[in-house]
Structure 1
Amino acid sequence: MSKKIQLLSILFLGISSVAFSQIKEEKLILNKKREPEVKKIEKKKTSVEVIKNYPPEEKSQNPVQYDITDVPAVSDFKTSTIQSEDVAPKLTAAVQNNYVQFGMGNYGKILGDLNISKTLQNKIEVGADAHMISTQGLKKEYAWDSKQSATTLGAFLNSYGDKGKFNLNAEYGLNSYNYYGIYALELGDVDLDQRVNQFKVNGYYDFYSNEILNDVRVKSSFLKDHFDAQENQGSILANFSKHAVELSKSGIVMNADLGVDLETVQTDFMIRDQNSASFFNTNLAPKLTFAKGESYLMVGSSFTFLNAKNSNLVMAEQMKSNTTYWFPKAEFQVAAAKEFKFYGGVDGGLKLNTYSDLLQENPFLVSDQMLKPTETKYHFYIGLRGDIDETFKYDVSAGYGKMKDIMFFKANDLFDNNFTLNRSAYNFANTFSAVYDDGNVSDIKGSLQYFPLENLVLDGEINFMRYDLENYNHIYNVPLLTGSIGAKYTMLEKKLSLGFKGIFASDRTTNSYTIEGVANPTMMYQSTEDTDDKVGGYADLNLSAEYKVHKNFSIFALGNNLLSSKYQTYKGYKVLGAQILGGVKITF
């Protein structure tokens, strides 16, 4: 490629980073998944021809794309949440394993990242992960501590057999942070500590041939936090299938699938109302797919059987229920050409809202939650997608659904009105609780990828979600509009990788409290709730660069929130301003 084109490409990245600013809430991936992403597994045939010494060497070693991805230096760490999305560029798959990297930046940010793996002679791969990131927080914004850190330690094993691939991984994670979002009271140095420990063990077996038994996966999780909340989860999922059954000489084939899923969750809280929840969920999902070329019709159902138990200090006895659900499943696609594929369908389902999942969305929850499953009774959608000359891919869709017990987060008041600052870390109107309401949801989604040059990739997405609730006037802490735009560019024979990602979100409504002391003989706090407060929208700009000095040595630099927007994703929790981080990576 000529120098002129290179200069124009770099100029494009610079201009786009300013023009598009930002689009979606940052979510830094610190936890590595040692389990394959199901969406990336495409099995075209159910059965295979019986050949001596099957499977061949190359298939036995790479039957599934396992997600052993590098987490380059942190991209979007912010004080308001440890979860964020990695926007740093990756060079080649060859550097994803066996590396160590270290970085430092402003706000006292420190990054450590390690991955080691070894393939033994018997086709067993063993390895280990270690990831750590920390920041001193916003010392100039708050008189109290707002530091955070996250650490993940893991080990994994992959075994390649004659009939399939087995994966086993164990992971320990520790998130340590503070409930620093105090906006209604003035206070000095107090202990606002929260720590969440979680240990996971997952197993997965995937058959090279998806004849009858396709794959089996087992998951387990054990969580405990600083306030003695405990949650234990376990699940087993088996997928049965019979694919590529020819129905006619015209090319119509049928695929039959049956998913069987068993899931159990037990959650116990030790403070406030001491809520307790227990769920045992069984799900059967049969479906038939009739396909010809890239056009298809899928029809199916989902049958769910839920056993639920809830109790707390207020209840005189434990509430029990056994409920059976039926959800529709259907989808069609009409492929007029690879550039234009019209699709639509209907789906539904039951989602168990666990404490672990809630903390991923909002780590500033009080350790006492009423947990309910969210039911999507139905969700209709239509869309158009396509691939134009293998340089432009797009997918646009719109949907409408009816839901029961939609979960969102509501800000908590003081839990008592005693006129004192000698309070628990969660008792300053600085925490949130899950609340539920029934209603309808309308959504519009769009995503695209553009490959103008061999070494330049552009992508973007936008999401519009509108909720019409029965009891609440607004859905709290959910933006109406989110989106992102990104670019990845490599040059100098792929020695230099540049990355850009802008994310944005519109205003979100929340509730909040004004608290004042009442001068009377008893002296107490009195609070007033605002049910239509606003947490402003934001635009956040992120740039990254990595230069491969040697095949085993790289240097990197990252700039996050370069517009220095001190926005809030939850009331009171400001994020870090402009951040610069640099470091080195060694691969071996």
Structure 2
Amino acid sequence: MNRKIQILSILFLGISSVAFSQIKEEKLILNKKREPEVKKIEKKKTSIETIKNYPPEEKSANPVRYNITDVPAVSDFKTSTIQSEDVAPKFDGTAQNNYFQFGMGNYGKILADANISKTLENKIEVGADVHVLSTNGLKKVYDWDSDQSSATLGAFLNSYGEKGKVNLNAEYGLDNYNYYGIYALTPSADVDLKQKVNQFKVNGYYDFYSNEILNDVRVKSSFLSDHFDAKENQASILANLSKHAVELGKSGVVLNADLGLGLETVKTDFALLNENSSTFFNADIAPKVTFAKGESYLMLGSSFSFLNARNSSLILAEELKNNKTYWFPQAEFQVAAAKEFKFYGGVDGGLKLNTYSELLQENPFLVSDQMLRPTETQYHFYAGLRGDIDETFKYDVSAGFGKMRNIMFFQANNLFDNSFTLERPGYDFANTFSAVYDDGNVSDIKGSLQYFPLENLVIDADVRFLKYDLKNYDNIYNVPLLAGSIGAKYTMFEKKLSLGFKGIFASDRTTNSYAFENIGNASMIFQSAEDTNDKVGGYADLNISAEYKVHKNFSIFALGNNLLSSKYQTYKGYKVLGAQILGGVKITF
């Protein structure tokens, strides 16, 4: 591990030296100050007035894509993990709306995606997005299938009116993969480990240009099914009411008032094992007021949640019903001594509905039968420092402490059938996980920064420390104590060449695991032994990308993932792909 980290450092220094040798030739182009985009450092939302510069005529003449889930302008390549994580840099400044690209690489990787949009005569923009990615998996590591494919098909509509803008977005997604992480048994090569998840989403969003009374309205819906007949329907609506920029005398203090109203419902039914079923209906009300002067402010508010929950399963004698009202504090302040140094702090809390859809995004290897509970953050205190130094260096560092109920994390499953046989379903090899919950405290330290040394170079980094103190479990499973990333985006030759670098790392993680043995020929059953303090090693994963525009309508690209070929696991048994190289062509029109 130390040797690989040394290699990573040498490679990064090498890349940096080459980049800065090129930088010396391009310093003359920096003849004025600029306001670089900041996407990595996400400042907490307050009710401070937001200037919405959306004049209708300007928007109609030069429409800009505005989606709830924005269609990526550069393909969201996947990282070295088989399941998926987007680590590729996106060069938004040079991206075009209409394109098609195709690429191939080792491990049988095939990429194809396209984005098409058109502004009609009535100045309504319509478009579609298609994305397909597949890999043959680790054929030399596992005798059984570890291949995976995913596809997304979306359509969107944007319209800009006199008072606001509207967006409609529909998307169908398919994930087809295998529960390949078998570590304690050796099944035959033809074992069926298939899992398939279908999801259809429809979203709508309306945003008024002004902050007068009705600010914006969001509507979201989702319909999910999987290979084992699990079904989940989810819908939500959120409205923000506001009255901003109320001057309080001649003090220079401005009052902003906001009221958030939300409704959310989720119904999940499983047809496997214990056949868990749950229904949640939650209503939220969040009033707050903000007193602001310049970049300093004080926000005071509260949030209330009214939850109706129902749970049932084959192992419960009767349906469990729960009606409960929650109150959470909401407060934040910022003292802006200067734009370089802004001290802030506050307290917040909230109720989060854990859905099967969201759990699968974090861990696709869940068994298709989950007990779902909402996670309650009773309070979370935090304090930090952020700033912008000479428009070239932005940073945000904070620390916090909170108390939570029903903290959700993932625990490895035992065998569901103890019979001494390998003729079993694909999810029954101790190769799946289930959501478990515990109460406890959490301490966190987070830091992120962005550095803009040149107009065509962006360097960013972030790190996160999370420490849980649980009531019942000695350790929180499958959550790293320390995680972070470092990245860079660089353009050369009048933006014809785009280079990207992304290094991600995580510390060791604790998990539980199982070992099996036959306790006697007469019994014909497996006896299991659980290790509650097993380790899934930490890792460093190096990724780079390059795209060269041969012609204004034709580009070639290449992506390298896990270039150190780290043999790490994301979850127990689930090894990742080794070093990967993918190349292809991109056509814009």
Give the TM-score, by structure 2 length.
0.91
Checking the alignment, whether the CA contact within 8 Å between 2:215 and 2:240 is kept in structure 1 is yes
Q: 1:312 to 1:565 in 2, by over 3 A?
A: same
Q: Distance in 2 between matches of 1:305 and 1:217?
A: 20
Q: Distance in 2 between matches of 1:14 and 1:565?
A: 25
Q: 1:105 to 1:404 in 2, by over 3 A?
A: same
Q: Is residue 2:65 matched to residue 1:68?
A: no
Structure-2 residue corresponding to 1:116: 116
CA shift at 1:41, angstroms?
12
Q: Distance in 2 between matches of 1:379 and 1:39?
A: 13
Structure-2 residue corresponding to 1:30: none
Q: 1:214 to 1:138 in 2, by over 3 A?
A: same
Q: Is residue 2:207 matched to residue 1:206?
A: yes
Q: Provide, for residues 371-429 of structure 1, a one-character-per-residue CA deviation record: whole Å limited to 9, x for no partner.
A: 00000000000000000111110000000000000000000000111011110111000
Please tell me the residue identity of whatever aligns with 2:465: F
CA shift at 1:48, angstroms?
10
Q: 1:11 to 1:501 in 2, by over 3 A?
A: closer
Structure-2 residue corresponding to 1:157: 157
CA shift at 1:91, angstroms?
5.8
CA shift at 1:92, angstroms?
2.6
Please tell me the residue identity of whatever aligns with 2:174: L
Q: Distance in 1 between matches of 2:147 and 2:469?
A: 37
Q: Distance in 2 between matches of 1:59 and 1:254?
A: 32
CA shift at 1:150, angstroms?
0.5
CA shift at 1:553, angstroms?
0.7
Q: How does 1:434-513 map to 2 (within 5 A)?
A: 434-513=435-514
Which moves more between the two structures, 167-176 or 519-528? 519-528
Q: Provide, for residues 159-197 of structure 1, a one-character-per-residue CA deviation record: whole Å limited to 9, x for no partner.
A: 111111111111000000000000000112200000000
Structure-1 residue corresponding to 2:104: 104
Q: Aligned with 1:56: secondary structure?
A: helix
Checking the alignment, whether the CA contact within 8 Å between 2:48 and 2:292 is kept in structure 1 is no
Give the TM-score, by structure 1 length.
0.91
Q: Distance in 2 between matches of 1:117 and 1:48?
A: 23
Q: Distance in 1 between matches of 2:353 and 2:376?
A: 9
User: Identity of aligned pairs, percent?
Assistant: 73
Q: Distance in 2 between matches of 1:114 and 1:48?
A: 30
Q: Distance in 1 between matches of 2:217 and 2:547?
A: 38
Q: Provide, for residues 92-139 of structure 1, a one-character-per-residue CA deviation record: whole Å limited to 9, x for no partner.
A: 35x331100000000000001110000011111111110000000000
Q: Distance in 1 between matches of 2:184 and 2:105?
A: 31
Checking the alignment, whether the CA contact within 8 Å between 2:341 and 2:385 is kept in structure 1 is yes
Q: Distance in 1 between matches of 2:392 and 2:90?
A: 20
Q: How does 1:220-259 map to 2 (within 5 A)?
A: 220-259=221-260
Q: Aligned with 1:57: secondary structure?
A: helix
CA shift at 1:456, angstroms?
1.2
Q: Distance in 2 between matches of 1:461 and 1:399?
A: 16
Q: 1:134 to 1:41 in 2, by over 3 A?
A: farther
Structure-2 residue corresponding to 1:22: none
Please tell me the residue identity of whatever aligns with 2:186: E
Q: Distance in 1 between matches of 2:232 and 2:557?
A: 39
CA shift at 1:14, angstroms?
6.4
Q: Aligned with 2:570: secondary structure?
A: strand
CA shift at 1:325, angstroms?
0.2
**RMSD of aligned Cα (Å):** 2.2
Q: 1:373 to 1:42 in 2, by over 3 A?
A: closer
Q: Distance in 2 between matches of 1:118 and 1:13?
A: 42
CA shift at 1:516, angstroms?
1.3
Q: Is residue 2:433 matched to residue 1:432?
A: yes
Checking the alignment, whether the CA contact within 8 Å between 1:41 and 1:64 is kept in structure 2 is no
Q: Aligned with 1:272: secondary structure?
A: coil
Structure-1 residue corresponding to 2:16: 12
Checking the alignment, whether the CA contact within 8 Å between 1:482 and 1:506 is kept in structure 2 is yes
Q: Distance in 2 between matches of 1:366 and 1:155?
A: 31
Please tell me the residue identity of whatever aligns with 2:124: I
Gap regions ≥5 residues in structure 1: 1-7, 17-36
CA shift at 1:452, angstroms?
1.4
Please tell me the residue identity of whatever aligns with 1:302: S
Q: How does 1:524-539 map to 2 (within 5 A)?
A: 524-539=525-540
Structure-1 residue corresponding to 2:168: 168
Q: 1:150 to 1:483 in 2, by over 3 A?
A: same
Q: Distance in 2 between matches of 1:195 and 1:39?
A: 36
Q: Distance in 2 between matches of 1:233 and 1:411?
A: 27
Q: Provide, for residues 230-276 of structure 1, a one-character-per-residue CA deviation record: whole Å limited to 9, x for no partner.
A: 00000000000000000121211011000100000000000100000
Q: Which structure ranks higher in relative contact order (CA pairs < 8 Å, sequence separation ≥ 6)?
A: 1
Q: 1:329 to 1:73 in 2, by over 3 A?
A: closer
Checking the alignment, whether the CA contact within 8 Å between 2:60 and 2:160 is kept in structure 1 is no
Checking the alignment, whether the CA contact within 8 Å between 1:72 and 1:88 is kept in structure 2 is no
Q: 1:219 to 1:460 in 2, by over 3 A?
A: same
Structure-1 residue corresponding to 2:287: 286
Which moves more between the two structures, 470-479 or 511-520? 511-520
Checking the alignment, whether the CA contact within 8 Å between 1:63 and 1:208 is kept in structure 2 is no
Checking the alignment, whether the CA contact within 8 Å between 1:339 and 1:385 is kept in structure 2 is yes
Q: Is residue 2:329 matched to residue 1:335?
A: no
Q: 1:15 to 1:482 in 2, by over 3 A?
A: farther
Checking the alignment, whether the CA contact within 8 Å between 2:47 and 2:289 is kept in structure 1 is no
Checking the alignment, whether the CA contact within 8 Å between 1:461 and 1:483 is kept in structure 2 is yes
The alignment covers a number of residue pairs equal to: 554
Q: Distance in 1 between matches of 2:89 and 2:341?
A: 32
Please tell me the residue identity of whatever aligns with 1:499: G
Q: 1:38 to 1:277 in 2, by over 3 A?
A: farther
Q: Distance in 2 between matches of 1:347 and 1:45?
A: 21
CA shift at 1:63, angstroms?
7.9
Gap regions ≥5 residues in structure 2: 1-11, 21-41
Which moves more between the two structures, 206-215 or 136-145? 206-215
Checking the alignment, whether the CA contact within 8 Å between 1:264 and 1:281 is kept in structure 2 is yes
Structure-2 residue corresponding to 1:136: 136
Q: 1:250 to 1:302 in 2, by over 3 A?
A: same
Q: Distance in 2 between matches of 1:45 and 1:472?
A: 44
Q: 1:386 to 1:317 in 2, by over 3 A?
A: same
Please tell me the residue identity of whatever aligns with 1:139: K
Q: How does 1:296-335 map to 2 (within 5 A)?
A: 296-335=297-336
Q: 1:321 to 1:513 in 2, by over 3 A?
A: same
Q: Distance in 1 between matches of 2:345 and 2:324?
A: 29
Q: Provide, for residues 275-310 of structure 1, a one-character-per-residue CA deviation record: whole Å limited to 9, x for no partner.
A: 000000000001001100000000000000000000
Please tell me the residue identity of whatever aligns with 2:509: R
Checking the alignment, whether the CA contact within 8 Å between 1:236 and 1:261 is kept in structure 2 is yes
Checking the alignment, whether the CA contact within 8 Å between 2:47 and 2:257 is kept in structure 1 is no
Q: Aligned with 2:357: secondary structure?
A: helix
Structure-1 residue corresponding to 2:547: 546
Q: 1:204 to 1:13 in 2, by over 3 A?
A: farther
Q: How does 1:186-197 map to 2 (within 5 A)?
A: 186-189=186-189, 190-197=191-198
Structure-2 residue corresponding to 1:31: none
Q: Distance in 1 between matches of 2:579 and 2:149?
A: 18
